[in-house]
C-alpha cells in the first residue's frame, strides 16, 4: 500500500521543484522556499485524503501522517530545487535520478527494508523516499514508535535543499540561479533605461512577421508559389 503513495509523492516533489525553480522561476530564494513549503502542505493533504479515503492505506494518526506526507514532499522538492539552483536544468535530472530511480527502489516501500541487500537497505534509509516509507509506517500503523530517526533524515534533506537554494541565489560563486537573476536584472534595467527602444524592438518584430505574412499571401494570390508550398509558408509566417 505504501508504494502506491510513495511514488506519486516522489514524482510530485520533482514536478514541484521544476515549477518553482525553472518554469515559474520564483526569485529570490525566500520566495522559492515559501512556495515549496505551501505547495508541500497542500500536496501532503491531498495525498492523505486520496490514500485514506480511496485506498485506506493510512488508517491512524491522521495529523502526524499528513505532516509526514508534507515533509516528504518538502524534502524531495527542496533537494531537487536546490540542485536546480546550483546546476540549472541539469539539476532537475540529477534530482529525478536520485529520488525516483535510486531512492524509490531502495526504499523498500513495496516490501520491507530488511528484505533488501544490506548495502541497498542502508543507502535507501538515508534517502528521502526510504525515510518517508518508514516514517509513514511508524505513524500510520505503530503509533509513531521508531519514527524519530526517519523524521530527522527528512528534516536534514529539507534543510540541505533550502541551503542549496539560498547558495544558488546569493553565494559569491555564480551558480545557475544567480546567473538567471543577473539576466533578469539586466533586462529590467534595459527596459527602465530606454522603454521606447524596448517597445520599438517588440513592434519591429511584430511588423516583420506581419510583412512576411502579407508577402506570402500576395505571392499565393498571384500564383507565384505552388499551392502546397503556399500553405506551408502561410502557416510558418502566421507563427
Are residues 68 and 164 located together in one domain of the fold?
A: yes
Are residues 114 and 167 located together in one domain of the fold?
A: yes
Check whether 31 has a pLDDT greater than 80: yes
Contact partners, residue 214, CB within 8 Å, separation at least 6:
none
pLDDT score recorded for residue 234: 39
Are residues 170 and 210 located together in one domain of the fold?
A: no
Of 117-126, 184-193, 205-214, minimum mean pLDDT range = 205-214
Domain that holds residue 55: 2-187
Q: For 155-197, write each residue's pLDDT tens digit.
A: 999 999 999 999 888 776 767 666 666 666 666 665 666 555 5
pLDDT score recorded for residue 219: 54
Are residues 156 and 221 located together in one domain of the fold?
A: no
Alpha helices in 19-143 (DSSP H): 29-50, 62-87, 89-96, 104-106, 118-125, 128-141
Are residues 224 and 180 located together in one domain of the fold?
A: no
Widest distance between CA atoms in the chain: 82
Are residues 41 and 76 located together in one domain of the fold?
A: yes
pTM of the model as a whole: 0.73
| pLDDT > 70: percent of the chain | 69
Q: Where residue 146 falls among pLDDT bands split at 50, 70, 90? A: confident
Count H helices, E strands: the chain? 11, 0
Amino acid at each position: 500500500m505504501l508504494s502506491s503513495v510513495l511514488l506519486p509523492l516522489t514524482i510530485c516533489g520533482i514536478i514541484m521543484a521544476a515549477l518553482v525553480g525553472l518554469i515559474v522561476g520564483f526569485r529570490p530564494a525566500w520566495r522559492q522556499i515559501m512556495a515549496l513549503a505551501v505547495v508541500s502542505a497542500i500536496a501532503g493533504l491531498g495525498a492523505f485524503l486520496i490514500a485514506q479515503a480511496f485506498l485506506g492505506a493510512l488508517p491512524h494518526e491522521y495529523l502526524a501522517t499528513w505532516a509526514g506526507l508534507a515533509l516528504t514532499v518538502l524534502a524531495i522538492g527542496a533537494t531537487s530545487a536546490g540542485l536546480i539552483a546550483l546546476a540549472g536544468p541539469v539539476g532537475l535530472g540529477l534530482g529525478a535520478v536520485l529520488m525516483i530511480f535510486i531512492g524509490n527502489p531502495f526504499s523498500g516501500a513495496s516490501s520491507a527494508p530488511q528484505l533488501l541487500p544490506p548495502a541497498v537497505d542502508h543507502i535507501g534509509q538515508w534517502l528521502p523516499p526510504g525515510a518517508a516509507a518508514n516514517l509513514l509506517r511508524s505513524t500510520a500503523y505503530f503509533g509513531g514508535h521508531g519514527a524519530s530517526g526517519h523524521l530527522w533524515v527528512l528534516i536534514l534533506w529539507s534543510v540541505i535543499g533550502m541551503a542549496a537554494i539560498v547558495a544558488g541565489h546569493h553565494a559569491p560563486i555564480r551558480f545557475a540561479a544567480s546567473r538567471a537573476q543577473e539576466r533578469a536584472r539586466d533586462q529590467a534595467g534595459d527596459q527602465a533605461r530606454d522603454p521606447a527602444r524596448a517597445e520599438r524592438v517588440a513592434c519591429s518584430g511584430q511588423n516583420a512577421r506581419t510583412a512576411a505574412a502579407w508577402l506570402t499571401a500576395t505571392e499565393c494570390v498571384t500564383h507565384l508559389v505552388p499551392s502546397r508550398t503556399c500553405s506551408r509558408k502561410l502557416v510558418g509566417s502566421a507563427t
